[in-house]
Amino acid sequence: MLERLIFVACAGVFSCAAAAYPDKPIRLVVPSGAGGITDILARLLAKDLSASLGQQVYVDNKPGAGGIVGSQSVATAPPDGYTLLMAFPSHVVNPTLYPKLPYDSVKSFAPVAMVSKVSPVLVARPDLPASSTRELIDYARKNPGRVNYATVGTGSLGHLASELLNQMAGTKMTHVPYKGAPQALTATMAGEVDIYMVSSPSNVVEPYRAGKLKVLGVSQGERLLLLPEVPPLSDTLPGFEVFGWNGILAPAGTPAQIVNTLNREINRILGSAEFLQILRNEGATPAPLSPEQFSKQIAADIGRWGKVLKDANIKPLNY
């Protein structure tokens, strides 16, 4: 009788593992370098999850190839809940930008929870003869090809947002990629480029207050707490809305019980005062979703940004 009960209770390896989960440390892979918003949020989340789950959750930075290196390490990990991925927007861009990925951005992962959303901010060089989104559009239309915009590279969130702006406004602004966000922001302040869609709003507050930048608009549909005087771009371009997100993914096949446990704990943490304050400081907001809702968001974003890339005639890259 006892043997039968044990068999029923542990009908599969994963059901037993899920029942005891977690009973060892959990690795949270961040597919980018240390110090950025994704890394900062991952470390805060890891600290709180460690306390909540009773096992250490530690961050493992694996940067490279627009998030592909770190993502692949999770896609090929055992689906037991002990290897997780802190994904960012490149996850939904890479399927179009890199057609020969070493994994499937949808089928290789189990969505666990979205963590946060952040609105890019459109800034301009201080002497640009435009001080609003409407004035920028008018100026760019009168000077096709002469207005240029900075990004941190092809397929970055700022690149996509800027191309969407081009498409919706009927402008022809020119892409100028830089190696990183500090270089792009510095180039805009120095007047080397005209505008820059900054992915981290907190980075623009100080230079904006000092008069080193103009801030023309925010890409979400409402004003930011960090920049309450700056209107949304959608006031000028109805329907324009862009946000970046961070979220937790697990390898495909991870038991639903483990996914639901993680989702419940992460969503609880998102409501904590400490986490909320850090998000506000970065110009971000919490984004608690169910695994099913997060899955739909990923699928929608892959379709949306794939269309923007194709409409902009941005050629696929080789991994």
pLDDT computed for residue 40 by the predictor: 86
Same CATH fold assignment for domains 11-118+244-311 and 121-235: yes
Q: Which of 5, 2, 62 is nearest to 28 (CA)?
A: 62
pTM of the model as a whole: 0.87
- Tell me how far apart the alpha carbons of residues 207 and 123 are, in angstroms, rounded to a whole number: 10
Q: What pLDDT was estimated at residue 316?
A: 80
CA-CA distance, 107 to 104, in Å (whole number)? 5
The domain made up of 121-235 has a fold known as D-Maltodextrin-Binding Protein; domain 2 (3.40.190)
Q: What is the pLDDT of residue 2?
A: 31
Residue listed under structure tokens 């029923």 = 8
Predicted confidence at residue 3, as pLDDT, reads 34
In this prediction, the residues of the chain whose per-residue pLDDT falls under 70 are 1-19
Residue pLDDT, tens place only, 23-79: 999 999 999 888 778 888 899 999 999 999 999 999 999 998 889 999 999 999 999
- Domain boundaries in the chain? 11-118+244-311, 121-235
Name the class of domain 11-118+244-311. Answer: alpha beta
